[in-house]
Amino acid sequence: MNPKQTSRLRQALKEVASYIAPNLDAPLCLKLWDGSSFPLGRQSADGSTSQLALVIADPGVVPSLLRRPTLDRIIRLYAHGKIDFEGGTLIDIGEVVGGKSSRKRLKAISKRKLLKTLLPFIGMSGADVSASRSFEGDETGSNRKTRNERDNIGFHYDVSNDFYKLFLDEAMVYTCAYFSDWSHDLEKAQFDKLDMTCRKLRLKTGETMLDIGCGWGALICHAAKHYGVHAHGVTLSQDQYDYAVKRIAEEGLQDKVSIELIDYRHVTDKYDKISSIGMYEHVGVAALPEYMSKIRSLLKPDGLFLNHGITRRAKRKATRFAKRPEQRALVRYIFPGGELDDIGNTLQELECAGFEVHDVEGWREHYALTTRLWCERLTARREEAIEIVGEQTYRIWVAYLAGCSLAFTRGSARIYQTLSGHNAKGPSSVPPSRADLYH
């Protein structure tokens, strides 16, 4: 690219920034591949722009987005480092440009005027983002007879145990933490989450417990050590299984804790208590009747079942489970086969399967903070992460965690813990009040 063309492209984006700045009015600047930057909003008293910057690292980004302005294309451009950020996290960028008021003001900008200004980019080659880390197969999992659950789970969880250690707490809990005080750190909040889960299940010494999708074994080990139960976990992740087996041995819990690399549908024993923490999102809405029925068949007559899962807001239309662009991106790059339910449908499926619902508790704000902390911790260890899994995987996970935090903050994603009993007739197995949960 010759200097004259570079100058024309820079001038075009400077004009675009000047159109955006009065409408966005945010502490953000646009930084280009040659190091030049233009304010997208407020300036400091000394005339300097914000340190928070949205970076276009390759002029090919613009023609790429002009030809295909989709979320999938943005994700690919970010994964390849063609779009970047400086001076903060992706959550900071999202808070600045993704709020409802910001989006409304940006829509007021004339698209015709923007396109006219960007004419110098027409005819240019787009940035090369052809190769990208994505699931190769039926990422939607719509064909339930042929979908491979182990491949789906392995794509997300078998990235590397060392990678997850970079941002998870010491116990390796990869689900929503519980903050009894918002000032608590992640280690304290995850311990409290494990303990709250055990208290909700009213675990007693000598009982048997099944944890479906047990991850790296944190809950089954916690339940055995602190509540004296015999805990069994099942997972489809080879990396998680190997880690948990070693952990159980190191903690001397072989007589109380066991784990299998098996699909929950192949479990046959019956248990006093069952938990499913963060596994529900992998099931798929069409398979929920089978999921609920199987779990009830594994639960003893007076047993309790705690289901913990991410949901989305309910909608009246029959197409309420249709996938939006962000959901399609999620199954392609993060969770193949995943699908979010709404809490109303979850409760209906529980009751249709014969459960009695005792408690429903929303943890939306808890997960907004959990994923924010994960994102910040992973971002702070960028170089280590890239060395372990490569830059594309690192970037996709940062984008995923940032997107989750923003979604839970804004309420487009929710999360609930639901406690249900096997027996819907006669006395239940829960106390008359919930005071025991908050001792």
Report pLDDT for 210: 98
Q: Please, which pLDDT band fits residue 322 given cuts at 50, 70 and 90?
A: low
| Segment 305-333 mean pLDDT | 76
- Tokens 């900008």 locate to 109
pLDDT bin (cut points 50, 70, 90) of residue 330 is confident
Contact 71, 325 (CB under 8 A): yes
pTM equals 0.89
Instruction: Sort 153 into a burial class: Cβ within 10 Å, 0-12 / 13-18 / 19+.
Output: buried
The most distant pair of C-alpha atoms in the chain lies apart, rounded to whole Å, by 83
pLDDT of residue 344: 95
Angle ∠(287,290,294) on CA atoms, nearest 5 = 140
Span 114-142, pLDDT tens digits: 889 999 888 888 888 876 666 455 545 55
Burial of 163 (0-12, 13-18, 19+ CB in 10 A): buried
**Mean predicted confidence (pLDDT) in 242-250:** 97
- The tokens for 266 are 């192949």
- Helix then strand then coil, % of the chain, to nearest 5: 45, 15, 40
270 and 298 Cβ atoms separated by less than 8 Å: yes
Residues 152, 141: Cα–Cα separation, whole Å = 9
Specify whether 29 is catalytic: no
User: Which whole number is the average pLDDT over 416-429?
Assistant: 89
> CA nearest 190: which of 210, 202, 174, 201?
174
Instruction: Encode 63-79: b = buried (16+ Cβ within 10 Å), e = exposed.
Output: bbbbeeeeebbbbbbbb
Residue 229 exposed, middle or buried by CB count within 10 Å (0-12, 13-18, 19+): buried
70 closest CA partner among 418, 334, 329, 363: 329
User: pLDDT tier at 46 (50, 70, 90 boundaries)?
Assistant: very low
* pLDDT tens, residue by residue, 74-85: 888 988 999 999
- The average pLDDT across 14-19 equals 90
Q: How confident is the model at residue 350 (pLDDT cuts 50, 70, 90)?
A: very high
403 pLDDT more than 70: yes
pLDDT tens for residues 289-299?
A: 999 999 999 99
**Residue 362 φ then ψ, to 5°:** -85, 130
Q: Determine the pLDDT at residue 131.
A: 63
Report how far residue 212's alpha carbon sits from residue 242's, in angstroms, rounded to the nearest whole number. Answer: 16
User: pLDDT: is 41 or 262 the higher one?
Assistant: 262
CA 23 to the chain's CA centroid: 31
pLDDT for res 176: 97
Domain definitions of the chain by residue range: 3-121, 149-438
The span from the CA of 258 to the CA of 218, in Å, is: 12
Average model confidence (pLDDT) for the chain? 88
Please measure the distance between the N-terminal and C-terminal CA atoms of the chain and give it in whole angstroms.
68
H or E element that contains 14: helix 3-24
Q: Give the mean pLDDT of 38-56.
A: 71
* Of residues 48, 2, 51, the one with CA closest to residue 31: 51
Express each pLDDT in 63-117 by its tens digit. Answer: 999 988 888 888 889 889 999 999 888 898 888 877 666 777 777 788 888 889 9
CA distance 136 to 156: 13
Average pLDDT over residues 139-166: 70
Least confident of 155-159, 251-255, 278-282, 409-413: 155-159
Query: How far is the CA of 104 from the CAs of 95, 111, 411, in angstroms?
Result: 14, 14, 18
* pLDDT-derived band at 45, boundaries 50, 70, 90: very low
Residue 48 has pLDDT above 60, yes or no: no
Backbone angles phi, psi at 209, to 5 degrees: -135, 140
Percent above pLDDT 90 for the chain: 58
Phi-psi region of 325 (alpha: psi -120 to 50; beta: other; left: phi over 0): alpha
- 356: region left, alpha or beta (phi > 0 left; psi from -120 to 50 alpha): beta
Of 325, 403, 395, 400, residue with least CA distance to 85: 395
The CATH class, in words, for 149-438 is alpha beta
176, 221, 375, 404: the catalytic one is 404
pLDDT > 70? residue 324: no
